[in-house]
Amino acid sequence: MSQRRYFGTDGIRGHVGQFPILPDFVLKLGWAAGRVLSGGKGGKVIIGKDTRISGYMFESALEAGLSAAGKDTLLLGPMPTPAIAYLTRTLRADAGIVISASHNPYEDNGIKFFSADGMKLPDAVELEIERVIDLPLEMVPSLQVGKATRVKDAAGRYIEFCKGTFPRGLDLKGMKLVVDCANGATYQVAPDVLSELGAKVIAIGNQPNGLNINVNCGSTHPEQLQQRVVAEGADLGIALDGDGDRLLMVDHTGKVVDGDELLYIIATHKATTEPLEGVVGTLMSNLGLERALQREGIAFTRADVGDRYVIAEMLANRWRLGGESSGHIISLDHITTGDGIIAALQVLASLVESEKTLFERRNGMEKLPQTMINVPIAERLDPSKDSGIQQALTEAEAGLGNRGRILLRASGTEPLIRVMVEGDDREEVMAVATRLAAVVSESCS
């Protein structure tokens, strides 16, 4: 496979104003995508975005590029990433484009694509788009220039879809929920979905101004939500990220319930109502999740970090449920990508049907102590090819035995080596991680 120059594991992302997150590049990207998708023969593409201020600029640039390639565009405005995946399919578009940097601050932005079936673009298509970007921009004849239309009922369509994933005959009456929308793309839809199902909803992080997305709120900063749940005497809290594809929750005591624990709750509930062959996690998933699922007779396997790799493993195994510790939870029964709102509804359905609290449901899984040390490096290093690091890793794994596990991996986005250790004993975990990090640091100096 050829080396990608622009696309990462989740589209193209970076700092606004620095290459490639510039309006001229994004215009060319729109044109190249329009040329590649459907062979450049007409058709339509939908565009959605989160709430960061630069989204207006990049929406216009993409629209211009797609129009120059002869593609019509359907503009959704601020909408969650999974809503764009869903609407790409239901509106029979050739592709969907999301303008978002997910959980990053407003200074960043990115462009990611969905294919006509609502899945991430295949590698071969992304590489072809990269190839075409380098060609001179040639417009279609004026008669074939694409048109742009704003979809006025996009939010309503997605709200009804989300509600339709909640079991018929159930509702959320009597539940008091605090929902943190991260001042992001879910601010228009998440509170309505939950209130229309009967919950009393207290919304926070629902006043976006273009600059406050993910600022001290949402799934990356749940502290405000924790305090509000306790202060309001709420049943639980729901924390979404800036583009709505991640979920964390907070129980009534104010404690955070992370993606591994939520995946355990959803999986064990599904297994009571239908056969569940297995669950896909990642290399970062807590060993406690693996042990808890095995105890319930549910198979578990790990994919590389990144939702596209989780989905690929799910498809390879023909399994329907997977996710990451960060809160990306994918249920292929309902949608083709991670969806924070739908994952929250699955957890809520399990609470209603079991007549248990989130606090009680999360207690079925015991998380192992886990620590991560990020070691800065001057240049990219593959720890698997460094003999000194590998010797230290072998010795550490032998010493830890079956009491835990170790993961060394180079960051895909930063000049870091991540040293992750987890095990039954917190002090041992910290000691092993510290020793390994020291070896990695010395090898990189």
Tokens of 168: 């018929």
**Tokens for 335?**
């949608």
**Which of 74-78, 120-124, 313-317 is least confident?**
120-124
How does residue 1 score in pLDDT terms, banded at 50, 70 and 90?
A: very low
Considering the domain boundaries, does residue 298 fall inside one? Answer: no
What mean pLDDT do residues 159-166 have? 98
DSSP3 helix / strand / coil % (the chain, rounded to 5): 40, 20, 40
pLDDT given for residue 42 in this prediction: 80
Which tokens go with 118? 């609502």
**Tell me: the pLDDT tens digits for 223-265?**
999 999 999 999 999 999 999 999 999 999 999 999 999 999 9
Confidence of residue 365 (pLDDT cuts 50, 70, 90): very high
- What predicted TM-score, i.e. pTM, was given to this entire model? 0.93
Tell which wins on pLDDT, 413 or 6: 6
Mean local confidence (pLDDT), 342-358? 98
Q: What is the mean pLDDT of residues 314-339?
A: 96
Looking at 117, 138, 155, the residue that finishes a domain is 155
Place of tokens 């909640």: 166
Mean pLDDT on 401-419: 85
Residue 305 is predicted with a pLDDT of: 87
Q: pLDDT > 90: what percent of the chain?
A: 88
Average pLDDT over residues 362-371: 93
Mean pLDDT calculated for residue range 104-117: 96
* Strand 95-99 to 72-78 pairing: unpaired
Range 342-371 average pLDDT: 96
Burial class (CB in 10 A: 0-12, 13-18, 19+), 221: middle
Q: Which phi and psi angles does 5 have, rounded to 5°?
A: -105, -30
**Segment 184-203, tens digit of pLDDT:** 999 999 999 999 999 999 99
Q: What is the pLDDT of residue 302?
A: 97
Compute the average pLDDT of residues 357-385.
88
User: Among residues 138, 155, 172, which one ends one of the domains?
Assistant: 155
Domain of 439: which CATH number? 3.30.310.50
pLDDT score at 409: 86
Distances (CA, A) of 44 to 27, 67, 79: 16, 10, 18
Residue 331: inside a domain:
no
**Which tokens hold the place of 39?**
């062979």
Active site residues: 102
Whose tokens are 């606090």? That residue is: 359
Stretch 361-385: mean pLDDT:
87
Q: Domain total for the chain? A: 2
pLDDT at 413: 61
Q: What is the pLDDT of residues 127-146, one digit of tens each?
A: 999 999 999 999 999 999 99
Instruction: Please report, for the domain that includes residue 104, its CATH number.
Output: 3.40.120.10
Please, what is the average pLDDT of the chain? 94
Longest Cα–Cα distance in the chain = 71
pLDDT of residue 280: 98
Domain holding 409, by residue range, is 370-444
* Secondary structure of the chain in HEC code, one letter for each residue: CCCCCCCECCEEEEECCCCCCCHHHHHHHHHHHHHHHHHHCCCEEEEEECCCCCHHHHHHHHHHHHHHCCCEEEEEEECCHHHHHHHHHHCCCCEEEEECCCCCCCCEEEEEEEECCCCECCHHHHHHHHHHHCCCCCCCCHHHCCCEEECCCHHHHHHHHHHHCCCCCCCCCCCEEEEECCCCCCCCCHHHHHHHCCCEEEEECCCCCCCCCCCCCCCCCCHHHHHHHHHHCCCEEEEECCCCCCEEEECCCCCEECHHHHHHHHHHHHHHHCCCCEEEEECCCCHHHHHHHHHCCCEEEEECCCHHHHHHHHHHHCCCEEECCCCCEEECCCCCCCCHHHHHHHHHHHHHHHCCCHHHHHCCCCCCCEEEEEEECCCCCCHHHCHHHHHHHHHHHHHHHHHEEEEEEECCCCCEEEEEEEECCHHHHHHHHHHHHHHHHHHHC
For residue 207, pLDDT over 50 is answered with yes
Q: Give residue 2's pLDDT.
A: 57
Is the pLDDT at 378 greater than 80, yes or no?
no
Tokens of 255: 């404690």
What is residue 380's predicted lDDT score, i.e. its pLDDT? 65
Q: Is residue 431 one of the residues assigned to a domain?
A: yes
210 falls within a domain? no
What is the pLDDT, as a whole number, of residue 14? 94
Whether 266 maps to a domain, the answer reads no
Q: How confident is the model at residue 204 (pLDDT cuts 50, 70, 90)?
A: very high
Question: Quick one: tokens of 405?
Answer: 């596990």
The neighbouring-strand residues paired with 322 are 280, 330
Q: Is 105 in contact with 214 (CB distance < 8 Å)?
A: yes
DSSP class of 167? P
Task: Write phi, then psi, for 282 (nearest 5 degrees).
Answer: -130, 180
151 occurs within a structural domain: yes
- Residue 21 domain flag: yes
**Mean pLDDT, range 108-129, rounded to an integer:** 95
Q: How far is CA 113 from CA 35, 88, 412, in A?
A: 14, 10, 19
Which residue among 134, 155, 176 closes a domain? Answer: 155
User: Does the residue 66 lie in any domain?
Assistant: yes
> What's the whole-number mean pLDDT along residues 31-52?
90
Mean per-residue pLDDT, 292-320: 95
